[in-house]
């Protein structure tokens, strides 16, 4: 039996975390048991099942964030944090 999908935060709540340049800070946890996206105060926490190797976890975080925002993953660019848990994504117009 398939596991039910975890509900994602509303796009408006996620956009409220973005700065004036459309950047969103994310704390990523790769190698998690399941995928989730949660708002913790003024931080966005992303848990992904992908391993932190060859950019797989970065791609998984980008895809999860894009799905929650209702955007194509190509509209999110990783600005900082390719090898760090603390990442900064920019939303392209």
Residue 42 has a pLDDT of 84
What are the sequence ranges of the domains in the chain?
11-91
Q: Is the pLDDT confidence value at 1 over 70?
A: no
Residue 3 has a pLDDT of 63
Q: Cite the DSSP H helix spans in the chain.
A: 11-16, 56-69
pLDDT band at 7 (very low <50, low <70, confident <90, very high): confident
pLDDT band at 2 (very low <50, low <70, confident <90, very high): low
Q: Which of 61, 11, 53, 16 is nearest to 36 (CA)?
A: 61
25: number of Cβ within 10 Å: 17
What count of Cα atoms within 13 Å lies in the side-chain half-sphere of residue 88?
7
pLDDT tens profile 26-80: 999 999 999 999 999 888 999 999 999 999 999 999 999 999 999 999 999 999 9
Tell the residue number behind the tokens 């944090």, with chain if given: 81
What count of Cα atoms within 13 Å lies in the side-chain half-sphere of residue 58?
17
Q: If you classify domain 11-91 with CATH, what class do you get?
A: alpha beta
């Amino acid at each position: 039996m398939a596991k039910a999908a975890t509900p994602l935060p509303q796009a408006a709540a996620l956009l409220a975390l973005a700065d004036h340049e459309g950047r969103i800070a994310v704390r990523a946890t790769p190698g998690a048991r399941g995928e989730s996206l949660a708002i913790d105060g003024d931080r966005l926490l992303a848990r992904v099942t992908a391993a932190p190797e060859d950019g797989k976890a970065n791609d998984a975080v980008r895809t999860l964030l894009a799905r929650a925002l209702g955007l194509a993953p190509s509209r999110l660019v990783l600005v900082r944090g390719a090898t760090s848990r603390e990442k900064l994504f920019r939303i392209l117009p």
